[in-house]
Structure 1
Amino acid sequence: MSAYRDIQSTLVDSLFDVLEEMCEGAISVDEKARIVWINSKYLTLLGFDNEDDVLGQNIEQVIPESMLAHVVETGRPILLDIMHFNDRHFVVSRLPLHSDSGEVIGAVGFVLYDNLDYLKPLISKFEMLQQRLSNAEAKLAAERRTRYSIANIIGRSAHINDLKEKARAIARHTSPVLILGETGTGKELLAQSIHSASVRRHEPFVAVNVAAIPESLLEAEFFGVSPGAYTGADKRAALGKFALANGGTLFLDEIGDMPLQLQAKLLRVLEEQEFEPVGSNRVEKVDVRIIAATSQGLEEKVKQGGFRSDLYYRLNVLLLEVPPLRERLEDIKPLSEYFLETLASRSGEALKVIDRDGLAVLESHSWPGNVRELKNTLERACLMSTSESLSASGLRPFVPAGQGVAVSTVLPLEPGLSLPARIASIERQAISRALELTGGKKAPAARMLGISRSQLYDKIRDHRLSE
């Protein structure tokens, strides 16, 4: 056994001699981090003439940025580091020294290079990787930021003006929000607008369409998965949407499609602000504002047992209802102008405009797909049209027939009613219906009926509708 120890001691001594010879300097400290040895090359690097100038002193008094005291304290090596001394940088390695019983009795440090030029290839590669990581993180952060603000809500109707005011007021609070509206009305745009106007605007905005995720994956999607939670699971933890949205806003679109089992877990997060990842017993705290949206009648689903009443009332703290497009026909013009400008900017082609007859065609449609359907219709019309403007003839092929706003209903035949009287009755009913749909506004009602505003005023007077 003593022979093996002799060989080991010889190897250690030889290795130390080789390192000292190869390196630009070497130094050693005792268990109290006092300098007990320094070679001549290191003395020269540090600018000292004699080793007596440094022996016995604490290492940090001579080299303030030295980590040898830390190595003595922890017993752990620092294999590669960059140390600053005056106006120079050294590449150093630090190793603990142990007694035969295993106790730390000191540490030794080697200056591998006194010039960073030797490490330029390695540093360049590291900087390149760091830049790629920073770019990826910046791109991911950008994807989690909102693209829309309240100013992006297009419209001039009383409905939209009221909606904007409510959104601004709601943005000042942190309570859950429930947005109700038909498909295509812009519920996510409204959710983003609320987030961008809130104190959380600099934190993530994460959107999840509950209806688009298979039920078996919803829990993992929301709460994440701990490493090795099940057979085939990743060895690394997978973050869920709640963790990704921490500090910011989580938008749950089509919340009405959420399974009952997951509804109970969502309610717990709302109440306790904590959750457990799939396959984990660890509880994680989270600070997330919930904005939920649905095109379904949640109250009816609650009555039928398809949605938890406690979750419904917890979500329905601040309520917003987005009106369908057919109830705000005066918004069709500004919306169309915005979409046409966007299409022209994206395609690089000349801006197309809608004439009065074309606008009347759009305003006579009921738009069951709402704003999304209007946008798609205008895009198809622009792609197929060769003229500079979109007229009635250019738009009719792209507006589905049979879905117009009903402005007239043929009255039952009455004995003795003459043809002129019958026509007058139908006309009166059509005008009344148009005024009802436009909230009494004459200009959009006239466009819907395909007549001028002056003609509409004349007919209102003739039929005594002003009464």
Structure 2
Amino acid sequence: MPPSDTLRPDDAKRHGLTRELIEALFPLFEEASAGAIAVDQAARITWINQSYAQLLGLTEPAQAIGQPIQTVIPHTRMPEVVNQGQPLLLDIMEHDNQQLVVTRLPYFDDKGAVTGAVAFVLYDDLQPLTPLVSKFRRLHEDLAAARRALARSARGTRYSLGDFVGASPAALEVKRRARLAAGRDVPVLLLGETGTGKEVLAQAIHGASARADRPFVGVNLAAIPENLLEAEFFGVAPGAYTGADRRQRDGKFQRANGGTLFLDEVGDMPLPLQAKLLRALQENEIEPLGSNRVVPVDVRVIAATSRDLGKMMADGAFRPDLYYRLNVLEITVPPLRERLADLGVLCEALLADIGRPGAMAEITDDGVAALSDYDWPGNVRELRNVLERALTLGEDASLLDAADVFRVLPESMARVPACGSLKPVRPLARVVADAEASAIREALVAARGNRTRAARLLGISRSVLYEKIAKMS
């Protein structure tokens, strides 16, 4: 337990709490929680109890003492609590593919200065909180929609990092690098197949950066005829050519000045324009078509491509010097087939977006399982298309099952197991129940019958373990 003389400031009495009461309540919080931890004013771990150490995979609590908390718990918000001196009473934190409900409280010295913070894991399993989480998710979706509408009118962006849906290790790594990119004003190169969400990430990086209140201007290089690209990029001086407008026409660089320029499908850029783009990025200035006047510009470039730039450089189709200029921070967006664990949450998010107003569309577990039997060459964009078609053609417009999915999936692209590997199919509920029962029996043996330790070994809460044992009997 943290030192009693630094738990709370004297002015705690103003909130109806005395220091003695806080000291009396602390052991109760610790006992009722799935783990507790404390840090000092530099966000270094000063204390951690045994249950939290086991939750984090540490053999001994002493391993964590003295370490910065972010090295042990990467997604923690404890430094924020220490820096701002404000509690975070209820938060969902991701750690090692599990979601924890956490409360965090700052503590003070006698003069009211923050000297550290303490956190309790209230729940290490969200199953009992499903109704509350569902309501929170709906509210979050409504808030996200309002933010997108506001962003669209204010600065031309629709997406935030929350719109890149997924909690698999691959998706979390993409989000981590995107946050890193948002905090650094350097060029970013997004690599990935078509439909993986590169534009979503580009807008999210801009929206979380210091340029968020400035323009975001996107241009798809594959969609503009080659003879118009230079004018699109650098603008046109009055009367630059026969039929040209007599007024100055600004290009993408001028429109994005002070903000972010998103170059989608940069691998489709012709070589002559590559040289001019490189000069603009190096010199921070452009020369409009038909003009001798140099215009200074300040843009942050985010480029994206589904092509293999390494091979294009070897073939002489892409300039290496431009590649190195664009690729200061690289983010590789994995294809959907490499993060099938995200299919369930992706379906939930997409169905909430494409469903009929006032009717929440859902998909069954066997429907998600059917989707995982497909290679997804079009990735998330194709997944949205499949769900839209399934909703349109399905008998029940609010619930999709495996039959609805198989009706619209191209059979030629489905993964088919080898004949020798086919086994009799059992009901999924029976398979899951048998696997759970086996795992629980093994955990109880390993814990010598101690149900609390068995729950920790299984990574579930004690209440959930008791419920599952009752169902087994």
2:431 match: 452
Counterparts of 1:143 and 1:237 in 2: how far apart (Å)?
24
- Number of positions where the alignment pairs a residue of Structure 1 with one of Structure 2: 290
Deviation of residue 143 (structure 1)? 6.9
Partner of 2:328: 317
Equivalent of 1:172 in 183, 192, 197: 183
What's the CA shift for 1:352? 1.9
Q: What corresponds to 1:211 in structure 2?
A: 222
Q: Does 1:401 align with 2:411?
A: yes
* In 2, Cα distance between equivalents of 1:139 and 1:149: 12
Structure 2 equivalent of residue 154 of structure 1:
165
CA distance in 2, matches of 1:262, 1:405: 42
1:140/1:324 CA distance change after superposition, 3 Å: closer
8 Å contact kept, 1:180–1:321: yes
Identity %: 52
Which of 349, 353, 357 matches 1:338?
349
Q: Which runs of 5+ in 2 are unaligned?
A: 1-148, 440-473
Q: Residue by residue, what CA displacement relative to the aligned partner does 1:417-441 show, whole Å, maximum 9, x if unpaired?
A: xxxxxx5xx259x99xxxxxxxxxx
**Residues 409 and 386 (structure 1), Cα distance of their counterparts in 2 relative to 1, 3 Å cut:** closer
1:453 to partner: Cα distance: 3.0
Matching residue of 2:251: 240
User: Residue type matched to 1:351 in 2?
Assistant: M
Q: 1:139 to 1:146 in 2, by over 3 A?
A: closer
Q: How does 1:432-451 map to 2 (within 5 A)?
A: none
Pairs within 5 Å for 1:282-321: 282-321=293-332
1:296 maps to amino acid: R
CA separation of 1:390/1:139 partners in 2, compared to 1, >3 Å: closer, same or farther?
closer
Question: Which residue in the other structure is 2:64 paired with?
Answer: none
Q: Does structure 1 residue 269 correspond to structure 2 residue 248? A: no
1:397 Cα deviation after fit? 1.3
Equivalent residue, structure 1, for 2:174: 163
- Say which SS state the counterpart of residue 237 (structure 2) adopts: coil
Greater C-alpha Rg:
1
Q: 1:451 to 1:167 in 2, by over 3 A?
A: farther
- Deviation digits for residues 13-59 of structure 1 (CA, Å, limit 9, x no counterpart): xxxxxxxxxxxxxxxxxxxxxxxxxxxxxxxxxxxxxxxxxxxxxxx
Question: What's 1:352 paired with?
Answer: 361
Counterpart code for 1:195:
H
Asked whether 1:256 is paired with 2:267, we answer yes
What is the CA distance between 1:163 and its match in structure 2? 0.9
Alpha-carbon distance change, 370 to 219 in structure 1, aligned in 2, over 3 angstroms: same
Change (3 A) 1:217 1:373: same
Matched, 1:374 2:383: yes
Tell me how far 1:139 sits from its aligned partner: 11
Structure 1 match to 2:372: 363
Contact kept, 8 Å, 1:246 with 1:286, in 2: the verdict is yes
Distance 2:304 2:434 in 1: 43
Aligned CA RMSD, in angstroms, stands at: 2.8
Deviations 1:200-248 (A, max 9, x none): 0000000000000000000000000000000110000100000000000
Of 391, 394, 404, which residue of structure 2 is paired with 1:385?
Answer: 394
Matched residues in 2 for 1:182 and 1:455: separation?
39
CA separation in 1, counterparts of 2:418 and 2:150? 56
Distance verdict in 2 for CA 1:277–1:354, change over 3 Å: same
Whether the aligned pair in 2 keeps the contact of 1:224 and 1:278 (CA below 8 Å) is: yes
Q: Residue 452 of structure 1: CA displacement? A: 3.3
Consecutive unaligned residues of structure 1, counting only runs of 5 or more, are 1-137, 411-422, 432-445, 461-467
Provide the secondary structure at the position in 2 that maps to 1:402: helix
Q: Is the 8 A contact 2:151 2:157 kept in 1?
A: no
Query: TM-score, with normalisation over the residues of structure 2?
Result: 0.58
Q: Is the 8 A contact 1:148 1:192 kept in 2?
A: yes
Give, in whole Å, the separation in 2 of the partners of 1:451 and 1:208.
52
Q: Residue type matched to 1:367 in 2?
A: W
Q: Is the 8 A contact 2:152 2:158 kept in 1?
A: no
TM-score, normalising length: structure 1: 0.58
CA distance in 1, matches of 2:306, 2:430: 35
Amino acid in the other structure paired with 1:240:
G
Q: Identify if the C-alpha distance between structure 1 residues 455 and 212 changes in structure 2 by more than 3 Å, giving closer, same or farther.
A: farther
Task: Give the whole-Å Cα distance in 2 for the aligned partners of 1:339 and 1:139.
Answer: 20
Alpha-carbon separation, structure 1, partners of 2:304 and 2:292: 31
